Amino acid sequence: MRRRSLFTAAAAATAGTAAIGTLPAWARTGDGPEETGATQIWESEEQWGLWQDGDFTLYNNLWGEGWGHQRIWANSHSDWGVNADHPNTGGIKSYPNVSYTLGRGVWDMGEVSSAHNVTVPSGSGLAYNTAYDVWGDGHDHEIMIWTQWHGPVGPLGGHVTSVNLGGRNWDYHQGHNGGNPVYSFLAHTHTTDSWVDITAMCQWLVGNGHMPEVRIDQIQFGWEITSSAGGRDFRVNDYALWV
């Protein structure tokens, strides 16, 4: 089964260019745009809502079964968020994300890394993970990098080993979703302020025989949201991808 990255030809798209600079006051203070009355360059409640900011694409991406309501907003690819109201039932409902397409082979991808700072909800009745979703050879291979998570969620497949990559310790799991193999790295220490060495992970997978020598295509970052009843806010305060 294809997940998170396939969209219908009729998907609503609004193109624009956003200035990338100082975060707005509500992001610096922690107050959301709805509370302060601040406006956003783009917002969407559409299932496949998407918006282009230079080489980056923002996706609302309500792809799972039983989703409720979700509003995505953005000022740029590094300043965006969602309000998600999904029932407290099993199964991932959505993966709102920012996406960039690399299109380079594993051994030719260069030094690809990313950093992010996010604000996420906490409390009961929540289930989600903050994660990169990196795709190889189109959508034939999926590398997931979990930097933080909350509630009853877990990776596909079984635990294989623990490894230090990019100066950080990870548990590595390997499984299959019925459509493609999934290679998952789960951080030993949760943090909402992270730097991730994506090249190190991709080359480790190939060098250790877990994944074939693929072309790295989409690099996505966002949240897999399983449950968030009542409406909860997820915010990207800052995001950078170096390629």
- Model pLDDT, residue 31: 43
**Ranges 8-12, 63-67, 151-155, 194-198: which has the least confidence:** 8-12
- Model pLDDT, residue 12: 33
Mean pLDDT of 225-230: 98
Cα(102)–Cα(94) distance, rounded to whole angstroms?
A: 23
Query: 2 vs 176, which has greater pLDDT?
Result: 176
Q: How confident is the model at residue 91 (pLDDT cuts 50, 70, 90)?
A: very high
Average pLDDT over the chain, rounded to an integer:
88
Burial class (CB in 10 A: 0-12, 13-18, 19+), 25: exposed
**pLDDT at 20 exceeding the cut of 80:** no
Q: What is the pLDDT of residues 110-142, one digit of tens each?
A: 999 999 999 999 999 999 999 999 999 999 999
Query: 163 vs 2, which has greater pLDDT?
Result: 163
Mean pLDDT of 207-227: 98
* Residue 42 exposure: Cα atoms within 13 Å on the Cβ side: 27
What percent of the chain clears pLDDT 70, i.e. is strictly above it? 84
* CATH class of segment(s) 13-242: mainly beta
Let me know: does 33 contact 10? Beta carbons within 8 Å: no
Domain ranges of the chain: 13-242
Mean pLDDT of 96-107: 98
- Model pLDDT, residue 10: 32
- Model pLDDT, residue 38: 58
Let me know: does 190 contact 118? Beta carbons within 8 Å: no
Mean pLDDT of 70-74: 98
pTM, two decimals, is: 0.86
The long-range contacts involving 7-14, CB below 8 angstroms and separated by at least 24 positions, are 7/48, 7/50, 7/59, 7/61, 8/48, 11/46, 11/48, 11/49, 11/50, 12/44, 12/46, 12/48, 12/49, 12/50, 13/50, 13/51, 13/52, 14/42, 14/44, 14/50, 14/51
Pairing of strands 215-228, 97-105: antiparallel
Q: What is the pLDDT of residues 28-51, one digit of tens each?
A: 334 445 444 457 999 999 999 999
**pLDDT at 59 exceeding the cut of 50:** yes
What percent of the chain clears pLDDT 90, i.e. is strictly above it? 84
Q: In sequence order, which residues have a C-beta less than 8 Å from that of residue 164 and are 6 or more positions away?
A: 170
